[in-house]
């Protein structure tokens, strides 16, 4: 049996996991399922693409790092793009979600996020057309890792990046004051205020972090596959499935959920072909809701 699908699933799962962190944090802290989260992936990736081109034009050349298909311009662009994506999220909160939050109807926020998702995605389509774009057209040689598994240098780099981001994120949530405050607001916003937590600040941090990680996930997808306006929207169901599977509010849960969804998708492609790939996340979602709605690490539904 060819085990290559595990490697493919791992890559996909890693980026689903990164994206799902934002979903799970928004869900537990702002208390609504954000359908616009997928657009943060897409916007972050287009920002990175534009900035990479701008850096290339300014400095000249688009050098590559070692065996990777991209170089420091992409990395620098990605960091700036993560910030910009965070600002998009903050702006969206300012003009839309903050106003609805005061009315206290979570499901209206879900609906608004659905409208925002449609508008943001179509805006990308308007600006860049639905034509796919690429970070690099070079074909990479995959390195054999044994057991018949091969990974390209890009994929290895991205897996490593995911590990670093996830470990950093977990430490941030458990050790830093803002991470503690985020956990506190997620469990009990009233008590958090009593304890001196500035909930508005926690909300801003949640948007920035979720959007920045979404940007990272989007760029990973852009580098390993392609860049399209629908790239985030098409990933939305896997993101939700991963967040719910892992348990709402749990960062390690979101990542584990992402890996499970990614590997399950890749395995299913082996069995039923690629046509029904997108239905796997749906099946996992239904299974979780039936068997354990609180998810793996979750404490509440």
Partner 1 sequence: MSEPLLAIEGLAAGYEPGAAIVRGVSLAVKAGEIVTILGPNGAGKSTFIKAIAGLVPKFAGTVKLGGSDITRMPAHLLARQGLGFVPQTENVFTLMSIADNLRLAADILPKPERAAKIEEMLKLFPDLDRQRSLAAGRLSGGQRQMLAVARALIAGPRILMLDEASAGLSPKLVGQVFAKLADIRKRGITIVMVEQNAKAALALADRAIILAEGRTAHEGRSADIASDPQIRQLYLGLAPARGAA
Partner 2 sequence: MLDILAYAAFFLVTALTYGIICLGLNVQWGQTGLFNVGVAGFVAIGAYTSALLTTPDAAGRFGGFGLPVWLGWIAAPLVAGAAAALIGAITLRLRADYLAITTFGIAIAIQLVALNAETLTGGPFGIGFIPRAFAGLEDQPVIFNLANLLLVGLVTALLYYGLERLTRSPWGRVLRAIREDETAAQSLGKNANLFRIQAFALGSAIMGLGGAIGAHFIGFIAPENYVSAMTFQVWAMLIIGGSGNNKGALLGAVLVWGLWSASGALLAAFVPAEYQARAAALQIVFIGVALAALLVFRPRGLLGEEKIVSRFLKD
Residues lying near partner 1 in the complex (CB under 8 A): 177, 180-181, 183-184, 187-188, 190-199, 299
> Quick one: which segment of 56-64, 103-111, 139-147, 180-188 binds partner 2 (CB under 8 A)?
103-111
**Residue 190 interacts with partner 2 (CB under 8 A)?**
no
As measured in angstroms, the least distance from the Cβ of 219 to partner 2 is 23
As measured in angstroms, the least distance from the Cβ of 260 to partner 2 is 16
Question: For residues 45 and 78, is the Cβ–Cβ distance under 8 A?
Answer: no
**Residue 269 interacts with partner 2 (CB under 8 A)?**
no
Question: For residues 289 and 244, is the Cβ–Cβ distance under 8 A?
Answer: yes
d(CA 147, CA 54): 42
**Residue 301 interacts with partner 2 (CB under 8 A)?**
yes
CA dihedral 25, 29, 34, 37 (to 10 degrees): -40
Of 17 and 247, the one with the shorter C-beta distance to partner 1 is 247
**144 pairs with which residues across the strands?**
150
Of 99 and 193, the one with the shorter C-beta distance to partner 1 is 193
As measured in angstroms, the least distance from the Cβ of 114 to partner 2 is 6
Closest CA to 149 of 292, 9, 290: 9
Write out the DSSP string of 212-246: HHHHHHHHHHHHHS-B-TTHHHHHHHHHHHHHHHH
Of 201 and 286, the one with the shorter C-beta distance to partner 1 is 201
Please, how many CA atoms are within 13 Å of residue 230, restricted to the half-sphere of its CB?
6
Residue 133: phi and psi, rounded to 5, are: -125, 165
3-state SS string for 4-27: HHHHHHHHHHHHHHHHHHHHHHHH
Q: Which of 67, 91, 108, 160 is close enough to bind partner 2 by CB under 8 A?
A: 108
Residues 6+ apart with CB under 8 A from 14: 158, 159, 162, 220, 255, 258, 259, 262
Of 151 and 227, the one with the shorter C-beta distance to partner 2 is 227
As measured in angstroms, the least distance from the Cβ of 292 to partner 2 is 11
As measured in angstroms, the least distance from the Cβ of 74 to partner 2 is 27
d(CA 44, CA 175): 27
Q: Which of 54, 59, 123, 143 is close enough to bind partner 2 by CB under 8 A?
A: 123
Q: Contact residues for partner 2 (CB under 8 A)?
A: 27, 32-33, 35, 96, 99-100, 103, 106-108, 110-112, 114-120, 122-123, 125-126, 129-130, 233, 236-237, 240-241, 244, 275-276, 278-279, 281-282, 285-286, 289-290, 293, 301
């Amino acid at each position: 049996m060819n085990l290559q699908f595990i490697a493919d699933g791992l890559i996909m799962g890693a980026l689903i996991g990164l994206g799902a962190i934002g979903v799970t944090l928004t869900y537990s802290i702002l208390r609504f399922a954000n359908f616009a989260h997928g657009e943060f992936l897409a916007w972050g990736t287009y920002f990175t693409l534009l900035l990479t081109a701008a850096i290339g034009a300014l400095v000249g050349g688009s050098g590559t790092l070692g065996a990777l298909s991209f170089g420091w311009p992409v990395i620098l662009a990605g960091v700036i793009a993560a910030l910009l994506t965070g600002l998009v999220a903050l702006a969206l909160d300012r003009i839309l979600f903050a106003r609805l939050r005061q009315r206290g109807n979570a499901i209206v926020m879900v609906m608004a996020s659905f409208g925002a998702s449609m508008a943001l995605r179509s805006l990308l389509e308007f600006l860049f057309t639905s034509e796919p774009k690429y970070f690099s057209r070079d074909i990479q040689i995959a390195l054999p890792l044994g057991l018949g598994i091969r990974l390209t240098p890009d994929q290895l780099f991205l897996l490593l990046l995911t590990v670093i981001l996830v470990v950093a994120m977990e430490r941030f949530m458990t050790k830093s004051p803002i991470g503690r405050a985020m956990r506190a607001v997620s469990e009990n916003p009233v008590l958090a205020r009593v304890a001196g937590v500035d909930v508005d600040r926690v909300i801003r941090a949640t948007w920035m972090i979720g959007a920045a990680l979404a940007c990272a996930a989007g760029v990973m997808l852009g580098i390993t596959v392609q860049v399209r306006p629908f790239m985030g929207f098409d990933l939305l169901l896997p993101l939700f499935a991963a967040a719910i599977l892992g348990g709402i509010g749990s960062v390690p849960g979101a990542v584990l959920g992402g890996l499970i969804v990614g590997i399950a998708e890749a395995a299913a492609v082996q069995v039923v072909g690629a046509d029904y790939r997108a239905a796997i996340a749906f099946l996992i979602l239904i299974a979780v809701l039936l068997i354990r709605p609180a998810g793996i690490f979750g404490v509440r539904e």
